[in-house]
Amino acid sequence: MSELRQNIVYKEWVIIAKERAKRPHDFIDNSPKLVSDKEYDENCPFCPGNEDKFPNTEVWRLDDGKGGWLVKSIFNKYPALSPDVEYKWQEEGIFRTISGYGVHEVLIETPIHNVHPALMKVEDVAKIIYSYKQRVIEILKMNDIEYVVVFRNHGYKAGASLVHPHSQILALPIIPRDVKVRVEEAFKYFSDHGVCVFCKMLSDELKVGERIIHESEHFVSFVLFAASSPFHSWILPKKHSSRFTDITDEEVDDLSKHLKVVLAKLYKGISNPDYNYIVRTSPFSYGKNKFFHWYITIVPRLTRSAGFELGSGMFINPSIPEEDAKFLRSVDISDL
Amino acid sequence: MSELRQNIVYKEWVIIAKERAKRPHDFIDNSPKLVSDKEYDENCPFCPGNEDKFPNTEVWRLDDGKGGWLVKSIFNKYPALSPDVEYKWQEEGIFRTISGYGVHEVLIETPIHNVHPALMKVEDVAKIIYSYKQRVIEILKMNDIEYVVVFRNHGYKAGASLVHPHSQILALPIIPRDVKVRVEEAFKYFSDHGVCVFCKMLSDELKVGERIIHESEHFVSFVLFAASSPFHSWILPKKHSSRFTDITDEEVDDLSKHLKVVLAKLYKGISNPDYNYIVRTSPFSYGKNKFFHWYITIVPRLTRSAGFELGSGMFINPSIPEEDAKFLRSVDISDL
């Protein structure tokens, strides 16, 4: 029979629809893929050599020491928000607006047009994570930035339209309501129990073991007990840390290996699924704190939200988290 | 330039991406449609006459007085939740579950296989809304039901897989966190201002006028000031009422005409888009109250949520609500 499960951190319930649950291998993704067989594509706005054809504003680069770049951040050509406008709060009765102030960058992860992060060298994944950190630190020096979202859209169903590996960084002049609610729930748990709820979840997941995907020196990944969708997973630092920007170089290296493992298991296990991943971190105005814990959430896009999800904010997961995790553990990625 | 807008009821921000905004007619939906040219389909589990081939459990019917039915509610064949299990809360450390107790009905809206609600007779739409009310009242007599979601998935992108017009009703043994947060925000507004925030929004929208789609005797529809996506609209009763189940027969008739108008304008204006609509009502344990206001939300599925939306809970709307509303007002549906 189905059951409802609650995410202890956020207090959200999900329905694990055991009646209609599919087996993990049923989620092998045969939908059209956003891929290319070219390492360089003359029509790609992100490939080195195409800068004249596709002018853009470079914000930052990780130099290769030979005049080129290894990772590059540019302003999004169609930015949702821009640093060129002044922050301005306006209110006319109940109609509240803020000018479109903020940052919207595209972080080009590699000069190579068609490589999948699961197939990259670990040191190249490390460069991406290092770059995330540098960009977020830099952006937080600006005025009026309250929250920064680092995310990756992979494949059509995840909202991507370009093959060339890239992430996005969106810096906001407000704390999103959803983020605020989550932080407040974490604060409540800490007030009641004197321990970070994520630290508690991490140790309990390790004790139980059945949802663990992978454990490395500094990180643990697991399919969520209350996963919203098939293979919905978190990668959590073992040591309590509220801010992603406090990650050490050693942790960057370990996280890179770890992220590659998880992405490779998805890539090989269910055939290069479309997915999003997001770096979730404490809002910066909460400072370094004891109650929130940063992490990466990975959401393969294998289901669709319909009226029930829109109307309740809840999700129906047609898979069983323990089976998803067992399946991922069993995927042999030694050849990748 | 883009701007952030806040929904005063829920305190959620959205980004209205004016830089990349499309014109309303750019949203004409050319994706594959879930349609049929048959009024009866022998392979449809919902068509009358096919009951032997597709057995199901009928829960309720609106009789046609000739042995047939006009509207029929059946148990979902693959229910997310079921009334046949006992309600049971279980807790092992941080792992909280509730047995899959609840109700999951499919409400078959008409015996005709291929009719679109925008093209139905008004009195047939009224039968659907009347049936929603009867089913919710009936379900609320059960023990341990905390929230009921009535919703409609129309088209592939909205999660539908069957042509035959139908809605769904899901009754939950909990109040979803998202619903709770919204009700609490409405309560806060009432405490601060002594007026229902929805009533305030309604009168202010009528005053401004530019986002109104349609006004009838008892209802007003408008594109939201802080619409999450193109044409995201609400239909709100003019008279304060917290519970959908308190709708009168006269209001059912007026709402039917109104709903048909809005759906017909979408149908004709942007070519039968996939959409969800949801009846949002106050959780029943809050009783009849002064601070929440029931309504119908309509969400055409014209955009896709990606990493940013998953990571922030916010949405980027690539259209301008005032233009969407103006466009809908201009769509002539006198021939439908």
Q: What pLDDT is recorded for position B117?
A: 86
Phi, psi of B67, rounded to the nearest 5 degrees: 90, -10
Q: For residue A113, indicate whether it is catalytic.
A: no
Nearest to B13 by CA among A52, A199, A147, A37: A147
Whether the predicted model's global pTM rises above the 0.90 cut: yes
Closest Cβ opposite residue B177 in set A11, A97, A150: A11
B159 lies within 8 A of chain A by CB: yes
* CA gap B255, B275 in Å, rounded: 18
Q: What pLDDT is recorded for position A244?
A: 98
- Superfamily of segment(s) B3-330: HIT-like (3.30.428.10)
Do residue B225 and residue A98 have CB atoms under 8 angstroms apart? no
Q: What pLDDT is recorded for position A207?
A: 97
Tell me which amino acid residue B167 is: S
B202 lies within 8 A of chain A by CB: no
Per residue in B148-198, pLDDT (tens digit) is 999 999 999 999 999 999 999 999 999 999 999 999 999 999 999 999 999
Q: Are strands B315-317 and B13-16 parallel, antiparallel or unpaired?
A: parallel
Tell me which amino acid residue A47 is: C
CB contacts of A312 in chain B (<8 Å) are 147, 149, 170, 172, 176, 178-179
Nearest to A17 by CA among A213, A311, A303, A273: A303
Do residue A151 and residue B307 have CB atoms under 8 angstroms apart? yes
Give the CA distances from residue A282 to residues A1, A61, A186, A197, B325, in Å, rounded to whole numbers and listed in that order.
37, 26, 10, 14, 38
The answer to whether A163 and A36 have CB atoms below 8 angstroms apart is: yes
CB contacts of A311 in chain B (<8 Å) are 149-151, 276, 278-280, 297
Q: What pLDDT is recorded for position B2?
A: 94
**Hey, how many other C-beta atoms are within 10 angstroms of the C-beta on B160?**
22
Q: Are strands A315-317 and A13-16 parallel, antiparallel or unpaired?
A: parallel
Q: Find residues 112-131 of chain A whose CB sits inside 8 Å of chain B.
A: none
**Hey, how many other C-beta atoms are within 10 angstroms of the C-beta on A85?**
14
Residue that is written with structure tokens 């999900």 in the block: A14
CB contacts of A159 in chain B (<8 Å) are 304-307
CB contacts of B189 in chain A (<8 Å) are none
* CA gap A37, A115 in Å, rounded: 9
Select which of B154, B164, B166, B232 is catalytic: B166
Nearest chain B CA: its distance from A22 CA (Å): 12
A78 lies within 8 A of chain B by CB: yes
Per residue in B7-22, pLDDT (tens digit) is 999 999 999 998 778 8
ipTM of the complex: 0.95
Q: What pLDDT is recorded for position B336?
A: 85
A306 lies within 8 A of chain B by CB: yes
* CA gap B257, B150 in Å, rounded: 19
Nearest chain A CA: its distance from B193 CA (Å): 12
Nearest to A34 by CA among A142, A137, A155, A130: A155
Q: Find residues 232-261 of chain B whose CB sits inside 8 Å of chain A.
A: none
Do residue A306 and residue B159 have CB atoms under 8 angstroms apart? yes
Per residue in B117-148, pLDDT (tens digit) is 899 999 999 999 999 999 999 999 999 999 99
**Hey, how many other C-beta atoms are within 10 angstroms of the C-beta on B105?**
22
Residue that is written with structure tokens 């004016």 in the block: B18
CB contacts of B174 in chain A (<8 Å) are 4, 13
Select which of A113, A154, A164, A166 is catalytic: A166
The answer to whether A170 and A81 have CB atoms below 8 angstroms apart is: yes
Nearest to A164 by CA among A304, A34, A333, A317: A34
Nearest chain A CA: its distance from B221 CA (Å): 17
Q: How many CA atoms lie within 13 A of A13 on its CB side?
A: 22
Nearest to B125 by CA among B257, B306, B226, B312: B257
pLDDT tens across the length of chain A (336 residues): 799 999 999 999 999 998 778 899 899 988 889 999 999 999 999 999 999 999 999 999 999 999 999 999 999 988 999 999 999 999 999 999 999 999 999 999 999 999 998 999 999 999 999 999 999 999 999 999 999 999 999 999 999 999 999 999 999 999 999 999 999 999 999 999 999 999 999 999 999 999 999 999 999 999 999 999 999 999 999 999 999 999 999 999 999 999 999 999 999 999 999 999 999 999 999 989 999 999 999 999 999 899 999 999 999 999 999 999 999 999 999 988
Do residue B311 and residue A297 have CB atoms under 8 angstroms apart? yes
Q: What pLDDT is recorded for position A88?
A: 96
Q: What pLDDT is recorded for position B19?
A: 74
Q: Find residues 166-185 of chain A whose CB sits inside 8 Å of chain B.
A: 168, 170, 172-174, 176-179, 181
Q: Which two tokens stand for residue A330?
A: 């069993």
Chain mean pLDDT for chain B: 96
